[in-house]
Structure 1
């Protein structure tokens, strides 16, 4: 299972670049949420399994809260994804040069460095799903029991990051059956692999079942446009090509064709089409199919590189790839100064970029409001979303002074709702965010806007301009009002 030196160099360069820019801008709202979620151990959360939150909380503690060091793990995950692309190319029959090319084109897609910059579920799901597909290709070509068990192990671990990998495997099974390779699924190996994957995913699935499958409501919110990265169904396919990259989309399309033309690999093209259709119909996010990208690119670089070699245009293509990777880097990585024209374009292409800027300023605003409270001992912070609550929770964890100054944060949003309502003695609340007035009126006797969250450099994100209210007096106890304040989105 040797990997060409060029593929390792590619992975190393990508990892170094990601670590170098890891401390720029700030935490993403999901990172703030994951760090706090990792301190509330449970078999599951309403919106996700627990592996990434546990990793986030543990690694954040290990690195002492330094942002650049916190993002070393996602940088490693992104780098390993390029290695998996190289290994997949080898399984598909690629030479060493093909394998290096597979690593390179995977490294310069928009999705790999973009997710490798953030400690997100997508970062680790991309690596896990790409690994599962690589191992599945191996198992189909060398159907040993150990090969199949590795497929189940990879899928099971990935399912504790995001259960979407189980749908990927289902799409692959459809492709295998449709292409007449169903005999491969009749052996014990695939069934043992499926059993192992389900066994490893069972804690989260059982937790979801016992809580009425809240993940379905979260998925419905995504389909309705409730997430920053939600997409209209008609835009899923164009956006998926954008996440590959306009220039890299050429070997991507070639890869789908290359796989289709080979009867023993045709199942992978069908699996991608089936999964893409599932994402469109269900209203999923455009990056959900990204786990297929390394395998398809690994297939596509072989005919692309051979065609270029025959016409002595390989160097020209390499220069073109390097040139078009420059805007990709600015769109996917925190390179442009916040508020600059390039930054504005980058956030228009990748809205998550805007969600990494402004949190320290927002926390400063809450500090000022809290300093003016004479009854801070009986106060809490009530946040509309988990990003706002996570920013307060992290500040309290990182500083003894903030632990004294900032009241504890509560929210009815997703996992925070599971961690319970405020204590009965908390009759004063600093309320953050865009709340419906009826919800506040049915919870507090009085609410007064005392400040607003202002983003630096006039950055337009989900928090910019959000009111900060000082609310006093409870209309009814928290135990009675909490259910009305919770939401899954």
Structure 2
């Protein structure tokens, strides 16, 4: 037996490098691949999948996610999605039609359980952990790399917090994770069906958010810079693109007819984030969202993608990440926007950390890091009884745990408003309710649907759901320290009370708003009877849409 044969056989049985089953790139019609291939230019087949070990991590992740999803009440955005689902449209001011449709379906399901409502998010979040491990395998990672990747993704605070809710992130992040896995797998297999599947997933994700084109722009730039350029010449890639464009046309038409509110919202997001550091902290905030283990592997994976010959043929993924992050930073987007690229970068870091000489330091470092990651993520799990949850007085704990605090107080707010209206003489009771925040309107419409008059708001997407009829007297609900808009819109104003002063959701929201520069008070929301100066059809367009 030759020395080269012995060498290849030893590689085949290692835990971190690729195993036998080399396939010649030229035989597949592919262009020569960069580093990590054998001396004949072959592409290594992936190692065996560590189904038992990864399955155990996925099971634990599922248990934690289900537990998190079954706590407390609906989140403020979830209530808004239910309201949006009652107003079907091809698009909305702040997202596509997918989540409102899922929220509407969850709302009408028998039982009205939190898990039933959030089922889609839970399944996709758990699936993302598995896809991350599969990505590590495709990158040449053995059992250790696959498990390390799965643990890192399962202990990511972003996944734990937002994956247990029905929200845009719970769909967007898993789809990005899956698309990058399909692209990495295509490099090895050259199966164009993977490109078509990626195109279909992109079309689906465009019904959730309009962010995924950034990923494809990044992939395109990466392929042009480092290959495989052949990817851009594959017909099924462009068939998938055509499917995406066709599926997006109705949403584009809706946006055009309504003045492109999603584009306007980008400026609002940048303005709000500017008060908590804005562009300067976006990258650190995004990396920290991956958790301790995830952040270490993410940074290490990006570095190794830039330098490792073993991973060079996947360097286009690093370019895609740079393009996405640069676009988000320039536009002032959220730190959660690039989270769909966490898995592939973490997987690259795990593969390199468990390969060759790197294993020597990884063996002693990985255990304490995993323990620290689990401790960090446990702090975001809502284990406290509902009646013991209180809101801190400082902004950053609230901002980090808004996904928890935003689930409290809404039923109580509805009851307080019902009581305030019932206390009025029948001839003074309002015919509608107008609020200055879409969470408030969503909560009142959801929890007070049988006891309150019609609810409206001029904030965010709620603006497009309708307005009060005629010159109806309304109950205006807004911050007690900022009555600028009701003063401009109302010919007569009568303060009848304050609500929500000790409700966690209201207090948390007002604390955040105060920190980003709005003159709000944590002492509750003002109730104001308002007789409009003009019919609402004239007054409504003068109020802020976003």
TM-score scaled to structure 1, two decimals? 0.90
1:390, CA displacement in angstroms? 0.4
Rate the CA distance shift 1:307–1:383 in 2: closer, same or farther, 3 A: farther
Structure 1 residue runs of 5 or longer lacking an equivalent are 398-402
1:283, CA displacement in angstroms? 0.4
Residue 339 (structure 1) aligned to one of 376, 390, 395: 390
1:462, CA displacement in angstroms? 1.7
- The 5 Å alignment of 1:201-212 reads 201-212=248-259
Given that residues 84 and 134 in structure 1 are in contact (C-alpha distance below 8 angstroms), is that contact kept between their aligned partners in structure 2? yes
Question: The residue matched to 2:472 in structure 1 has which SS?
Answer: coil
Q: Identify the range of structure 1 (291-300 vs 3-12) with the bigger mean alpha-carbon deviation.
A: 3-12
Question: The residue matched to 1:357 in structure 2 has which SS?
Answer: coil
Rate the CA distance shift 1:142–1:206 in 2: closer, same or farther, 3 A: farther
1:143 aligns with 2:190: yes
Given that residues 471 and 536 in structure 2 are in contact (C-alpha distance below 8 angstroms), is that contact kept between their aligned partners in structure 1? no
CA displacement 1:61-92 (0-9 Å, x = unmatched)? 21533234423332222111101101211221
Counterpart in the other structure of 2:129: 82
Rate the CA distance shift 1:35–1:315 in 2: closer, same or farther, 3 A: farther
1:57 aligns with 2:104: yes
Rate the CA distance shift 1:263–1:307 in 2: closer, same or farther, 3 A: closer
Counterpart in the other structure of 2:470: 424
Residue 367 (structure 2) aligned to one of 308, 318, 328: 318
Given that residues 370 and 407 in structure 1 are in contact (C-alpha distance below 8 angstroms), is that contact kept between their aligned partners in structure 2? no
Aligned residues: 480
Residue 348 (structure 2) aligned to one of 276, 299, 313: 299
Residue 324 (structure 2) aligned to one of 264, 275, 279: 275
- The 5 Å alignment of 1:47-446 reads 47-225=94-272, 232-260=278-306, 261=308, 262-306=311-355, 310-311=359-360, 314=363, 317-330=366-379, 332-336=380-384, 337-339=388-390, 346-373=397-424, 374-375=426-427, 379-397=431-449, 403=450, 405-424=451-470, 426-433=472-479, 436-446=482-492
Question: The residue matched to 1:246 in structure 2 has which SS?
Answer: helix
CA displacement 1:186-207 (0-9 Å, x = unmatched)? 2313222221222223322232
1:105, CA displacement in angstroms? 1.1
1:446, CA displacement in angstroms? 2.1
1:180, CA displacement in angstroms? 4.2
Measured in 2, the distance between the counterparts of 1:226 and 1:368 equals 36
Measured in 2, the distance between the counterparts of 1:312 and 1:443 equals 66
1:115, CA displacement in angstroms? 1.1
**Whose Rg is larger?**
2
1:259, CA displacement in angstroms? 2.2
Given that residues 406 and 504 in structure 2 are in contact (C-alpha distance below 8 angstroms), is that contact kept between their aligned partners in structure 1? no
Q: Identify the range of structure 1 (172-181 vs 150-159) with the bigger mean alpha-carbon deviation.
A: 172-181
Given that residues 339 and 459 in structure 1 are in contact (C-alpha distance below 8 angstroms), is that contact kept between their aligned partners in structure 2? no
Q: Identify the range of structure 1 (157-166 vs 92-101) with the bigger mean alpha-carbon deviation.
A: 92-101
Residue 467 (structure 1) aligned to one of 499, 509, 525: 525
Measured in 2, the distance between the counterparts of 1:46 and 1:12 equals 37
Question: The residue matched to 1:162 in structure 2 has which SS?
Answer: coil
Measured in 1, the distance between the counterparts of 2:478 and 2:509 equals 12
Given that residues 19 and 69 in structure 1 are in contact (C-alpha distance below 8 angstroms), is that contact kept between their aligned partners in structure 2? no
1:366, CA displacement in angstroms? 0.8
Measured in 2, the distance between the counterparts of 1:468 and 1:457 equals 16
Rate the CA distance shift 1:49–1:423 in 2: closer, same or farther, 3 A: same
Q: Identify the range of structure 1 (425-434 vs 35-44) with the bigger mean alpha-carbon deviation.
A: 425-434
Structure 2 residue runs of 5 or longer lacking an equivalent are 1-47, 511-521
Measured in 2, the distance between the counterparts of 1:435 and 1:422 equals 24
Measured in 2, the distance between the counterparts of 1:105 and 1:91 equals 17
Measured in 1, the distance between the counterparts of 2:77 and 2:428 equals 28
CA displacement 1:451-487 (0-9 Å, x = unmatched)? 1321347984124434322323221101110101242
Task: Supply the RMSD in Å over aligned alpha carbons.
Answer: 2.7
Counterpart in the other structure of 2:34: none
CA displacement 1:330-363 (0-9 Å, x = unmatched)? 1x33235422779987425334433222222222
Rate the CA distance shift 1:65–1:240 in 2: closer, same or farther, 3 A: same
Given that residues 346 and 353 in structure 1 are in contact (C-alpha distance below 8 angstroms), is that contact kept between their aligned partners in structure 2? no
Measured in 1, the distance between the counterparts of 2:143 and 2:336 equals 29
1:214, CA displacement in angstroms? 1.2
Question: The residue matched to 2:448 in structure 1 has which SS?
Answer: helix
1:309, CA displacement in angstroms? 8.3
Counterpart in the other structure of 1:400: none
Q: Identify the range of structure 1 (274-283 vs 332-341) with the bigger mean alpha-carbon deviation.
A: 332-341
Rate the CA distance shift 1:52–1:376 in 2: closer, same or farther, 3 A: farther
Question: The residue matched to 1:469 in structure 2 has which SS?
Answer: strand
Q: Identify the range of structure 1 (102-111 vs 287-296) with the bigger mean alpha-carbon deviation.
A: 102-111
